[in-house]
Amino acid sequence: MKTTNRFWVITLMILIAALSRILPHPYNFTPLVAMALFSGATFDKKWMAYIMPLFAYLLSDIVISLMGSRGFYGISQFFVYGGMLLVTALGTTLRQPKALRVLGYSLTGSAIFWIISNFGVWIASGIPGSIEHEPGLTLGMTYLRALPFYNQFSNQLFLGAFGGDLFYSAVLFGLYALAQKSLPSLRYSKA
């Protein structure tokens, strides 16, 4: 029974975080890295730790598409989901989620995701017909464009991503820590 309660609390928190993408927010200010870290750190069943954030993010992409926006945007999206898997793997190594450790893991997860997702943009840039298609784009130029000092748009992408990762990590891990204090069934190390 205790594991069941923990499973549903963790699952609900991840789903709510994913669906927060449909609310107005600064550009690229999303819960992606936080959901993956939180899932990896809290689920005992490793297969569930990997499946849940992917499912939640896919669900939010579907909702965004149904609302008339671009929830699915091209080949590089596979790298977004791949980046989530790597950040989830990082989360599985987060043994005791104290504030400073969550901060460090969140920044590391952001960096991993940035490298993987921008690599996907570069891969997709060479595929005719893809949204990201830009013949001759080099990998170095792809990463240069993604740096915060390249232009204002890149600055918004970069700061929004890191800001969202830090904010949502604080919210997910913080709320879960508070819930563990008041609900004894959540106090075990993993679900």
The letter for the amino acid at 55 is F
Residue 20 neighbours by CB distance under 10 Å: 17
* Residue type, position 97, single letter: P
Q: What is the mean pLDDT of residues 123-148?
A: 71
Please state the pTM of the whole predicted model.
0.85
CA distance 9 to 174: 13
107 near 162, Cβ under 8 Å?
yes
Q: How many CA atoms lie within 13 A of 6 on its CB side?
A: 22
Structure tokens, 67: 């609302």
Quick check: 11 pLDDT over 70?
Answer: yes
Distance separating the N- and C-terminal Cα atoms of the chain: 11
Model confidence pLDDT, tens digit, residues 60-119: 888 888 887 766 677 778 898 999 999 999 999 998 889 999 999 999 999 999 889 888
- Domain ranges within the chain, ordered by starting residue: 2-186
Binning pLDDT at 50, 70 and 90, where does residue 130 land? Answer: low
φ, ψ (nearest 5 deg) of residue 93: -95, -5
Tell me the pLDDT tens digit for each residue of 12-53: 999 999 988 888 877 778 899 999 999 999 998 999 999 999
